[in-house]
């Protein structure tokens, strides 16, 4: 299918969905390894149902030497033994589908592990048939082919390999050699890995650094910052999309196009002149926006315009396994609650990182316990505390990373028992979204900015369903009296859920959803 003009036409499931991101290593350990596993995900599927999300994205579950905790894949068509086996994943998919939860896998196409059999072959000799599946450049050990730097750890984007006396290219760690997508055999093999999971019933993929896959190897040299070639990436994406579209049930591609410019990112989403590409693509600018009305107003307008030009549907995420948690970034639970209203009130498909609904802060990770090759992402990968017992619903061992702060009170069981908790706020927001076609899929109109601290917008459908979302970014009470009332307070970050008449003011850090 092609993306329908918005908002008319039958709406595919992914436009209405809210997706919950699970980092399997940190979710729940059922096997006593100190690392989460797929049975841990199965065990807590009913938490997702209680919350009211529509699907889950699992960060990589494939066999991996774990140099980058799963983002270094040594077999795209199997399950990491720490996490389970094919039987576990089949059971997880089936049990999720029984609960009407879609399942997205994390596909890592730009690079494999250096332990992947393809790379072991490629590095074994210059005339190996898979030599050209990776990016090799001749030279001498003292001089990398270019000065390009890897994203992490700090160092060159090239590693010398003594066996064949050549350099191989990697945008990330030396254990993550970049695949050479210019070789049609690589594209064919990678599309086969998608087929493998589509045939098992997977509903779609989050595609890791997808904008990097297209490369023009003639750019390897001092005149270029890297070899990426957007035109080639677009061509690969159209073929990836065609494969997804050949399956029934709207299987989706959600791109991690990690470029901090929504105009550029939008070029990968929806339908371009030569055909459809990604269904959805994250906008990473919000991860770095100051928590104030004006920068958000400006960015949201820019994003609406950029995506509108492609008739592309927006995607929103405030956290992930790669960035300090929203609660820690904003510095208070009151602001984290307002962020929940923002995330679930915007026009688009929200992604919610596991633990945001518990208002978790980053764990403090002492240097001797650090795990992340990038050095900065352990805090947000701390284990999820499920209950108030000493091991918080994990099994017999200390988890691979320390607990986030206050696990005795800030755990799923305790918060589910407290109707005033942030977990219940998320649940109310998700329920309100489900009940409101305007909030789920309606157009957005930003209300005039007559207060520097208040950001508000109306969501509305052609059938006349309406609601207003408003946030007070400031630290004083603000009057807010939108036209077209009277309005009912459907959800407030400070309430416990009874619908009451809206009084026309917003407390400090308060955010609300109003319905007529």
As annotated, the active-site residues are: 208, 256
Give the integer Cα–Cα distance in Å for 358 and 404: 11
**Touching ligand GLC, residues 223-282 (CB under 6 A):** 256, 258
Q: Rule CB under 6 A: choose which of 68, 114, 187, 451 binds ligand GLC.
A: 68
Q: Total residues at the site for ligand GLC (CB under 6 A)? A: 10
Tokens at residue 411, please? 């755990």
Angle at CA of residue 456, ends 454 and 458, nearest 5°: 170
Q: In the complex, what is the shortest distance from the CB of residue 372 to ligand GLC, in angstroms, rounded to a whole number?
A: 8
Of the two residues 153 and 308, which places its CB atom closer to ligand GLC in the complex? Answer: 153
Q: Residues 29, 161, 283, 322: which binds ligand GLC (CB under 6 A)?
A: 322
Of 256 and 304, which CB lies nearer to ligand GLC in the complex structure? 256
378 lines the binding site for ligand GLC (CB under 6 A): no
Residues 108-127 touching ligand GLC, rule: CB under 6 A, are 108
Question: For ligand GLC, which is the closer residue by CB, 210 or 469?
Answer: 210
326 binds ligand GLC (CB under 6 A): no
Shortest approach of ligand GLC to residue 31 CB, angstroms?
23
Q: Which of 54, 187, 203, 208 binds ligand GLC (CB under 6 A)?
A: 208
| Closest distance to ligand GLC from the beta carbon of 70 (Å) | 8
Torsion of CA 364, 368, 374, 377, to 10 degrees: -20
- The nearest distance, CB 320 to ligand GLC, in angstroms, is 7
- Return the H-helix or E-strand segment holding 159: strand 158-161
DSSP 200: T
Residues 155-184 that bind ligand GLC (CB under 6 A): 172
DSSP 226: -
Min CB(152)–ligand GLC separation in Å: 7
Whichever of 286 and 407 has its CB closer to ligand GLC, that residue is 286
71 binds ligand GLC (CB under 6 A): yes
The sign of the torsion formed by the CA atoms of 233, 238, 240, 241 equals positive
DSSP track, 15-29: HH--EEEE-HHHH--
**Residues 420 and 426: beta-carbon distance below 8 Å:** no
Q: Which is nearer to ligand GLC, 150 or 358 (CB)?
A: 150
**Closest CB 68 distance from ligand GLC, rounded Å:** 5
- Report which of 382, 386, 393, 395 is spatially closest to residue 414, judged by C-alpha positions: 386
Rank residues 90 and 261 by Cβ distance to ligand GLC and give the closer one.
Answer: 261
Please tell me the distance from the alpha carbon of residue 257 to that of residue 228, in angstroms, as a whole number. Answer: 12
Q: Residues 196, 93: contact at Cβ < 8 Å?
A: no
**DSSP one-letter code for 39:** H
Rounded to whole angstroms, the Cα distance separating 430 from 89 reads: 27
What's the alpha-carbon Rg for the chain, to the nearest Å? Answer: 23
Selected binder of ligand GLC within 209, 257, 429, 468 (CB under 6 A): 209
Helix (H) or strand (E) holding 426: helix 422-435
Closer Cβ to ligand GLC, 21 or 30, answer by number: 21
**Of the candidates 318, 281, 283, which has an alpha carbon nearest to the alpha carbon of residue 299?**
283
Could you say whether residue 283 binds ligand GLC (CB under 6 A)?
no
Which candidate, 188, 193, 144, places its Cα nearest to that of 170? 144
Q: What is the distance between the alpha carbons of residues 513 and 490, in angstroms, rounded to a whole number?
A: 6
> Taking CB positions, which residue lies at the least distance from ligand GLC?
71
Q: Work out how close the CB of 478 gets to ligand GLC at its nearest, in angstroms, rounded to a whole number.
A: 37
Contacts of residue 68, defined as CB under 8 A and 6 or more positions apart, other chains included, come to 172, 173, 175, 176, 373
Instruction: State the minimum distance, in angstroms, from the CB of residue 108 to ligand GLC.
Output: 6
**How far, in Å, CA of 40 to CA of 45, rounded?**
9
Positions touching ligand GLC (CB under 6 A) are 68, 71, 108, 172, 208-209, 256, 258, 321-322
């Amino acid at each position: 299918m092609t993306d329908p003009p918005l908002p008319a036409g039958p709406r595919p499931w992914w436009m209405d969905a809210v997706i919950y991101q699970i980092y399997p290593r940190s979710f729940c350990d059922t096997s006593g390894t100190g690392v989460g596993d797929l049975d841990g995900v199965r065990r807590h599927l009913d938490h997702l149902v209680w919350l009211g999300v529509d699907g889950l994205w699992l960060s990589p579950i494939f066999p991996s030497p774990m140099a980058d905790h799963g983002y270094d894949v040594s077999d795209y068509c199997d399950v990491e033994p720490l996490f389970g086996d094919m039987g576990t994943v089949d059971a997880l998919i089936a049990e999720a589908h029984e609960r009407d939860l879609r399942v997205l896998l994390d596909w890592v196409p730009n690079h494999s592990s250096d332990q992947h059999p393809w790379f072991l072959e490629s590095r074994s000799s210059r005339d190996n048939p898979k030599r050209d599946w990776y990016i090799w450049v001749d030279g001498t050990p003292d001089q990398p082919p270019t000065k390009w730097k890897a994203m992490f750890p700090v160092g060159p984007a090239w590693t010398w390999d003594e066996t064949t006396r050549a350099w191989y290219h990697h945008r990330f760690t030396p254990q993550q050699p970049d695949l050479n997508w210019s070789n049609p055999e690589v594209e064919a093999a990678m599309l086969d890995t998608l087929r493998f999971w589509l045939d098992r019933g997977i509903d779609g993929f989050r595609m890791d650094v997808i904008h990097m896959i297209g490369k023009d190897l003639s750019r390897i040299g001092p005149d270029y910052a890297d070899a990426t070639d957007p035109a080639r990436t677009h061509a690969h994406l159209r073929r990836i999309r065609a494969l997804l579209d050949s399956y029934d049930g709207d299987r989706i591609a959600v791109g991690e196009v990690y470029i901090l410019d929504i105009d550029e990112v939008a070029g990968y989403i929806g339908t371009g002149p030569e055909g459809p590409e990604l269904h959805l693509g994250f906008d990473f600018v919000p991860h770095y926006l100051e928590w104030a009305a004006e920068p958000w107003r400006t960015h949201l307008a820019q994003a609406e315009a950029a995506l509108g030009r492609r008739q592309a549907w927006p995607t929103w995420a405030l956290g992930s396994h790669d960035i300090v948690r929203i609660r820690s970034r904003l510095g208070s639970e009151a602001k984290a609650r307002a962020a929940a209203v923002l995330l679930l009130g915007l026009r688009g498909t929200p992604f919610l990182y596991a633990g945001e609904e518990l208002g978790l802060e980053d764990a403090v990770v002492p240097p001797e316990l650090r795990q992340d090759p990038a050095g900065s992402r352990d805090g947000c990968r701390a284990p999820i505390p499920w209950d108030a017992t000493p091991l918080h619903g994990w099994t017999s061992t200390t988890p691979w990373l320390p607990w986030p702060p206050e696990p005795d009170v800030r755990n799923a069981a305790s918060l589910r028992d407290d109707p005033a908790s942030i977990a219940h706020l998320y649940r109310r927001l998700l329920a309100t979204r489900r009940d409101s076609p305007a909030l789920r899929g309606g157009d957005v109109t930003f209300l005039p900015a007559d207060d520097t601290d208040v950001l508000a917008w109306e969501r509305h459908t052609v059938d006349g369903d309406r609601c207003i979302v408003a946030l007070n970014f400031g630290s004083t009470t603000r009057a807010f009296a939108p036209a077209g009332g009277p309005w009912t307070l459907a959800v407030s970050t400070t309430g416990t859920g009874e619908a009451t008449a809206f009084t026309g003011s917003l407390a400090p850090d308060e955010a609300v959803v109003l319905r007529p």
